[in-house]
Amino acid sequence: MSTREIRIILAGPRGKMGSAARQLIANTAHFQLVAYLDRKQESETGFSDGQVQVYTDVEQCLSEVEADVFIDLTTPDAAKINLEKALDHHVRPVIGTTGFSEAEIERLRQKSEDKSLGVMIVPNFAIGAVLMMKFSQMAARYFDDVEIIERHHDRKLDAPSGTALKTANMISEVRSEKAQGHPEETETLEGARGGNVDGMPIHSVRLPGLVAHQEVVFGGSGQTLTIRHDSIDRGSFMPGVKLAVETVINAKTLIYGLEQIME
């Protein structure tokens, strides 16, 4: 883990995650904020900072600013573009959005290895959420039947969440595909049983007042097991952001998920 000064560009500074990330950078002695990337001009209610340059064009930002790490807390579509641009400019991306397909991840992994640059794509920066996924994978060795319920704020763009999909994929690594429920089960309302990954239903809830919450419910003969994690505010994600930045600076490949670097 590096403790040398790490120069950071932050994309998405106006959001709640961006605001928390600004505090993290300011409060971490070996982090130096060198630029912001924001899609709006200041005159269009965009972000402004009297001390650090704010760019609206990623190419211009990366061309003019010398940086080590590019933290992206924007949207999946923007993050995919920004990730590629960062690698092209020899800057290591830490991506805090989801929506990458397996094919995209493998292609980007090859590109990162060709350039000997680390990349981190993190569906969930909360350390507790990563432990929840690990515990769920452990439990899946003993319980065949499982459903995932994820709850997020109503401004979230994708459903199901990247964390729910990652959890399901981790469970699938140790569990054979299984059709759960009654063999003649029917939905009288389409979608009532949620999405499906290898027979595991995933249910998404979107409501104001929520931040990020997930429970993984296992069922067996005469018992159930529920593994749940709740992020109460965005501060819960910042230790994971710090860990990702300090890891990517020395990595030479793409790392998908904090669980890959947590023992």
Q: Do the annotations mark residue 160 as ligand-binding?
A: no
Say whether 97 counts as a known binding-site residue: yes
238 assigned ligand-binding residue: no
22 labelled binding-site residue? no
Distance between CA atoms of 90 and 68, rounded to whole angstroms? 8
* Amino acid sitting at position 229: H
Catalytic residue among 89, 111, 115, 156: 156
CA distance 21 to 14: 10
Verify whether residue 182 is a known catalytic residue.
no
**Distance between CA 27 and CA 142 in Å, rounded?**
43
Is 122 among the annotated ligand-binding positions? yes
* Residue 235 in marked binding region: no
96 is in an annotated binding site: yes
152 counts as catalytic: yes
The verdict on whether residue 209 carries a ligand-binding annotation is no
Instruction: Calculate the alpha carbon distances from 109 to 84, 87, 100, 208 in Å.
Output: 11, 11, 12, 36
Query: What would the two tokens of residue 39 be?
Result: 């899609």
Selecting among 152, 203, 213, 229, the annotated active-site residue is 152
Q: Is 124 annotated as a binding residue?
A: yes
Q: Is 166 annotated as a binding residue?
A: no
Among the listed residues 102, 112, 104, the one whose alpha carbon sits nearest the alpha carbon of residue 79: 104
Cβ–Cβ < 8 Å for 136, 197: no
Neighbours of 146 (CB within 10 A): 24
Q: Do residues 241 and 125 make contact, with C-beta atoms less than 8 angstroms apart?
A: yes
Residues designated as active site:
152, 156
**Which residues make up each annotated binding site for (S)-2,3,4,5-tetrahydrodipicolinate?**
153, 162-163
Binding residues for NADP(+), as ranges, are: 40
> Which residue positions form the known binding site for NAD(+)?
12-17, 96-98, 122-125
Task: State the binding site.
Answer: 12-17, 40, 96-98, 122-125, 153, 162-163
